[in-house]
Structure 1
C-alpha cells in the first residue's frame, strides 16, 4: 500500500486533487434513526501526528508507522457506525487516493503549530489547512483547537481561531473548534479536567467570531476521559471491535 502511494505521489501528484474531486459527498447530519434516539456524528480523529503526538499507552512511537496508521484508519472507516474523519492534508490525501473517503464526512485540521511539549505549545498557529484549501479539496469543514489559559500565547490562538471561524463562515463551512481549559505547570501545558474550568472555557470560545451560525464545539467528556487515539490502538489490537463499541455509545447518547 505504501509503495503504491509513494509511486502515485512521485509520478502523478495531480492524482490527489482528482481523487478528492470525485469523492462522493454526504450530508453532515443525516436523518436520525428512531432506534438510535436522534442524530449523531462519529468522526475518527487522525490529526495527532501533525502535533508530534505519537504516543499511545506505553508506546511512545505508536503512531509513527504511517502504513500501520493508514491500515487502522481504513478499518475504522469501514465500520458502519463511523461517519467520517478529521485530519491533516497528508492523511486525508492518502485516504482519498485509497478511495476510503466516499460517503464520509471529512473535516480538515487547521492549527497544528502548537507542538506537544515545546515551549511555544500554547501558541497554536494555523499551519495546516486554510479556509480556501478546504474549499479546494472539497472537504466538509475545518477543525481547530484552542486552549484557554492565562498566557499571552493562548490569547494569540484565541484571536486566530476567531478569524478562522469568520473565514469558514464566509464560505459556508462549519468550524469545529476543540475546546480545552489549560494551564502551565512547571513549564509544560496541562489540561484541566474539572467541569467548572471546561465550562468557563466553553463560554469564552462560544463568543469567538462575528457569527456563530457555522460554529460546532468539540468538547471532551471530562469524567474518565480516554484519548481518542486509543480507538485506533486498543490494547487487544482489535480496531474494529473498539470502533464498534465507541459507535454504539455515540448512538445511544444521541440527542432525543
Structure 2
C-alpha cells in the first residue's frame, strides 16, 4: 500500500486552512491528456461514494470514512499506468490534486445526488456537488450524474428535469457527461435498483434522451445478463460500472471481461470492488481490471 506520511497529511491540512487558492492552482497546473487514448478504451477508478453517505464495504459500515486510507488506496490505483483516471466529488479531487496524484490522468467530477441512502427524501436526486461551469473552470475532463427513475415516486420527474438541464449545460461547456441511470423502486422501505436486462434497457433509453443534445453524453451501466441487448438500445459511448463485489471475485472479473467485448462498451468505472478488494491487495485487483480494459493485444472488433 502506498503510504501518505503524517507530515504529508499535515501539509495537506495546513494548505487547506491557510491557502485555499492552492486548490485551484493545483488543478489548473496539472498535466492533461486526451480523454480517450489510442486504443479507444477508458479505465476510471470511482471514489464518489462518501459524499452520498455510502461508506460501507462488506461488513464494515465505515470502511470509506478514513480519508487517509482512501487516499492511499487511490494513490495505489492512480500509480498504475493503465488506470486512465478517477471519478470523485470536489473534496476527493481537491485532495488528490494537492497531493500531485492527478498528473496525466482523466478527472471526472461527480455532480453527486441529494437523495441520501435511507433518508425520507432518498428519491430527491437534485445535484448537490459540482456543476458544469465549475467543472470546466477547474479543468475537469468529464462530469458524472446519477439518475434513478422510480415510476411510483413523483420526485423522479424533478430528477429527470434537473438532469436534462445539466446535460445541456455540459454540452455547451464542451464537457462530456457520464450518465448513470437506474430503474429503481422501494422494497420494504428501501430503494433498490432493478438489475434485470429489461430494466437496464429502459434506463438507457430514458437517459440517452435527456437534454437539448446528446453530443457529449456517455453512459455508465451495470453488467447484466444480456449486455448485447442493452448495447443494442444505444449508440452512446458506454462504461461498465463495477457495483458491489460478489462472493466470487473471479466470476466478477469474468463478467466484466465478457461485457467488455460487446461493441459500444468503452471501458470500466469501478470503485469499492477494486479499492477494497476481498483479498486486501489493491494493486493486484487494479492490475487485473486494468489488463481487461487495456490488454496488450486488443481484439479487432469495432469498439
TM-score (norm 2): 0.79
Aligned to 1:180: 182
Equivalent-residue separation in structure 2 for 1:23 and 1:60 (angstroms): 34
1:203 to 202, 205, 213: 205
Equivalent-residue separation in structure 1 for 2:224 and 2:67 (angstroms): 30
- Post-superposition shift, 1:138? 0.7
Aligned counterparts, 1:98-117, within 5 A: 98-117=99-118
CA contact (8 A) 2:52 2:112 kept: no
- Post-superposition shift, 1:187? 2.1
CA contact (8 A) 2:48 2:112 kept: no
How many positions carry a matched residue from both structures?
A: 250
Aligned to 2:274: 231
| Structure 1 residue ranges (4+ consecutive) displaced by more than 6 angstroms after TM superposition | none
CA contact (8 A) 2:51 2:112 kept: no
CA contact (8 A) 1:123 1:154 kept: yes
CA contact (8 A) 2:147 2:159 kept: yes
Unaligned runs of 5+ in 1: 33-38
Equivalent-residue separation in structure 1 for 2:129 and 2:191 (angstroms): 21
- Post-superposition shift, 1:226? 4.0
Unaligned runs of 5+ in 2: 1-7, 226-241, 245-270
Equivalent-residue separation in structure 2 for 1:251 and 1:220 (angstroms): 19
Aligned to 2:172: 170
Superposition RMSD on alpha carbons, in Å? 1.6
Equivalent-residue separation in structure 2 for 1:62 and 1:248 (angstroms): 26
Output one character per residue of 1:189-217: Cα deviation in whole Å (capped at 9) or x when no partner: 00111111110111111111110100001
CA contact (8 A) 1:63 1:69 kept: yes
- Post-superposition shift, 1:173? 0.5
State the SS of the aligned residue for 2:222.
Answer: coil
Asked if 1:8 is matched to 2:9, the reply is: no
Aligned to 1:158: 160
TM-score (norm 1): 0.94
Output one character per residue of 1:12-37: Cα deviation in whole Å (capped at 9) or x when no partner: 111111111101110011111xxxxx
- Post-superposition shift, 1:235? 1.6
Aligned counterparts, 1:61-140, within 5 A: 61-140=62-141
- Post-superposition shift, 1:112? 2.4
CA contact (8 A) 1:119 1:188 kept: no
Aligned to 2:254: none
Aligned counterparts, 1:212-227, within 5 A: 212-223=214-225, 226-227=243-244
